[in-house]
Amino acid sequence: MDILLAHGYFLNEDPKERKVMRPYPPLGLLYLSSHLKAKGFDVGVFDATFRRREEFSELLRRERPPAVGLSCNLMTKGSALSMMREARACGAFVIAGGPDPPYYAEEYLACGADAVVVGEGERTLEDLLQKGMGGLDAIQGLVYREADGRIVRTPARGLIEDLDPQPFPDRAAVDIARYLQAWRGRHGVGAVSLICSRGCPYTCAWCSRSVYGETHRRRSPRNVADEVERIVADYRPDTLWYADDVFTIHHRWLFDYANELKQRNLYVPFECISRADRLNEPVIRTLADMGCNRLWIGSESGSQRVLDAMDRRVTVEQVREMTRLLGRYGIQTGMFIMLGYEGEEVEDLEATVEHLKRSSPDLFLTTVSYPIKGTPYYKTVEDRIVARGAWADRTDRDLEVGGRHSRRFYDFAARWMQGEVAVHKQLQSPRRSFLRLAKGFVNAKVGRMGMRLS
């Protein structure tokens, strides 16, 4: 084995994730695996999702891989750091990559990594395995520590411009059947994920772009349809999850892709994410024809003032209009709502509740904003960030912003928001509308007798 690729998402250790039970394979690692295998390297993959930590330890002792690459994000940081130390203790050269390490490279190096990959990892790992661990200064896109303790950052590596020649994710390296089983056991349908593009050109101030940058690179419709065809043949999923940041960003591409699927008689229901300003009736009609059953919109707030502060470049009315239009075409809408953004006041929260009532999405999820290092939002509040505890024991999600309401306040706000919208929906349901009409009719009839229904 030339390299072992791994991640630290142990599903069985997270009660909240087990309750949600929507696991997907680690596409980033699987892209790395297929790329390196295509270049002739012997690659192992440790998919932690359904595994135990002891199994990683046993694999290290049994295989003694010369290099271990660990993908790290906010959810998996704690596990990843522990796995790094263990891999290094077994003599492996440890490489950290993913969205979290680039802005905390020195900290990752101090906690067990020998090198940190900045940006896309395929070509950087390829170079590293070809040139060996002794020539790191000649490899673009790395941060590492010299023997004298000096931190070295090599020149940035250019992004992969043409994605079509890249091999599909190495799904054979993980147990896709286990993922489908978990989905079907909880939700009644089995889901497989894929991405059609890399990068997002939008400017949302709180969003991290540490891996794919601010560019937008899209695979051809034919290339994506080829992958869907293979997924259907190999796994027979009930639904797909297009994990792109903005699935409908390029309208001509979407129409061509829909036509490509139609010509191949490929029809698989799916979910995706988009923005209200990248939707219109022809796009929504096309999504419905393709089998889209739910589309997630990053609504974030019902206050235009807050949206403008986020640099979302979308209006509240656009979100409402597109949510209503999606409903008319039979597509459910899911919304992401963010509380506690810089400058948000109680009246902004009230505006968000009103927005949810008027938009009436099928479901919405709330989160409290947190400053991710490297983002404009982080820079805005940097002088007021309160970091409690050691770096290794926390993530950016644990950072607090001085002068903002307490976590307890936002917990209450989220529950209040859910309750207000739920009651509103109940009162607007057809059955309740009928009861209100019936009660009014009866009251009118019996009013002359001095009676009234409560």
Instruction: Tell me: pLDDT of 451 over 80.
Output: no
pLDDT score of 430: 66
Q: Does position 214 have pLDDT exceeding 90, yes or no?
A: no
Rounded to the nearest 5 degrees, what angle is found at the Cα of 217, between the Cα atoms of 102 and 298?
75
> Is pLDDT at 453 greater than 70 in this prediction?
no
pLDDT band at 133 (very low <50, low <70, confident <90, very high): confident
Question: Is 50 exceeded by the pLDDT of residue 273?
Answer: yes
Alpha helices in 188-268 (DSSP H): 221-235, 251-263
Q: How many other CB atoms are there within 10 angstroms of residue 54's CB atom? A: 8
Amino acid 250: pLDDT: 97
> At residue 125, does pLDDT exceed 70?
yes
Nearest-angstrom CA–CA distance, 50 and 216: 33
For 344-359, what is the mean pLDDT? 97
User: Which parts of 72-156 are beta strand (E)?
Assistant: 93-97, 115-117, 142-145, 151-153
Q: What percent of the chain has pLDDT over 70?
A: 94
- Per residue in 152-187, pLDDT tens? 999 999 999 999 999 999 999 999 999 999 999 999
Task: Report the distance separating Cα 385 and Cα 399, nearest Å.
Answer: 7
Average pLDDT of the segment spanning 54-69: 97
pLDDT band for position 189 (50/70/90)?
Answer: very high
Total residues found in the chain within this entry: 454
Cα 398 from Cα 306, distance rounded (Å) = 22
DSSP string, 129-189: HHH-TT-GGGSTTEEEE-TTS-EEEPPPPPP-S--TTSPPP-GGGS-HHHHHHHHHHHHSS
**What is the C-alpha to C-alpha distance for residues 38 and 34, in angstroms, rounded to an integer?**
6
Domains of the chain and CATH, by start = 3-153 (3.40.50.280), 171-421 (3.20.20.70)
Residues contacting 91, CB < 8 A, separation 6+:
64, 66
**Distance between CA atoms of residues 363 and 332, nearest Å:** 8
What confidence score (pLDDT) does residue 449 get?
37
pLDDT average, residue stretch 249-264: 98
pLDDT given at position 135? 87
pLDDT in tens, 322-341: 999 999 999 999 999 999 99
Residue 213: the pLDDT is: 83
Residue with tokens 């307890």: 408
Q: Whole-angstrom Cα distance, residue 164 to residue 366?
A: 36
Burial class (CB in 10 A: 0-12, 13-18, 19+), 11: middle
pLDDT-derived band of residue 454, with 50, 70 and 90 as boundaries? very low
